[in-house]
């Protein structure tokens, strides 16, 4: 039986998200992010929630779909400019529910 490689979008579709659409559990300071040369969040986030249209545009972040893994916090703190000014888990009953593991 051949193994089919799934795209990130397909894998994320296996999970259930109950997001707090009004209150992000992660807050970035765009002014700090603009000065960051490495921008490790763009490549480290497994859910691809950090985006940048081109080299000169600002980093955008969408907390909906967050896997709550903490990767962004670690790479931003250790390899970036500490642009993530708040990182926490979503409020009760919100966040991700993993369906397969």
Q: pLDDT tens digit string along 48-92?
A: 999 999 988 999 999 988 999 999 999 999 999 999 999 999 998
Distance from the first to the final alpha carbon of the chain: 22
How many Cβ atoms from other residues are within 10 Å of residue 18's Cβ?
Answer: 10
pLDDT for the residue numbered 42: 96
Angle at 17 between CA 22 and CA 71, to 5 degrees: 85
pLDDT for the residue numbered 87: 96
- Dihedral sign, Cα of residue 91, residue 93, residue 94, residue 98: positive
Q: Residue 91 in contact with residue 20, Cβ under 8 Å?
A: yes
What does the pLDDT look like over 16-38, one tens digit per residue?
889 888 899 999 999 999 999 99
- Does the domain at residues 22-91 carry the CATH identifier 3.30.70? yes
Q: Residue 41 in contact with residue 50, Cβ under 8 Å?
A: yes
**Token output for 7:** 């795209």
Query: Considering only CA atoms, which of 66, 68, 53, 61 is closest in space to residue 33?
Result: 61
Query: Considering only CA atoms, which of 27, 87, 88, 90 is closest in space to residue 59?
Result: 27
**pLDDT band (50, 70, 90) for residue 46:** very high
């Amino acid at each position: 039986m051949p193994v089919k490689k799934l795209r990130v979008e397909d894998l994320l579709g296996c999970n259930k998200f109950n997001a707090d659409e009004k209150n992000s559990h992660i807050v970035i300071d765009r002014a700090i992010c603009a000065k960051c040369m490495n921008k490790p969040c763009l490549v480290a986030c497994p859910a691809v929630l950090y985006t940048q249209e081109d080299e000169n545009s600002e980093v955008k972040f969408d907390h909906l779909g967050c896997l709550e893994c903490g990767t962004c916090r670690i790479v931003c703190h250790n390899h970036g400019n500490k642009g993530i000014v708040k990182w926490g888990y979503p409020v009760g009953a919100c966040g991700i529910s993993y369906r397969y593991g």
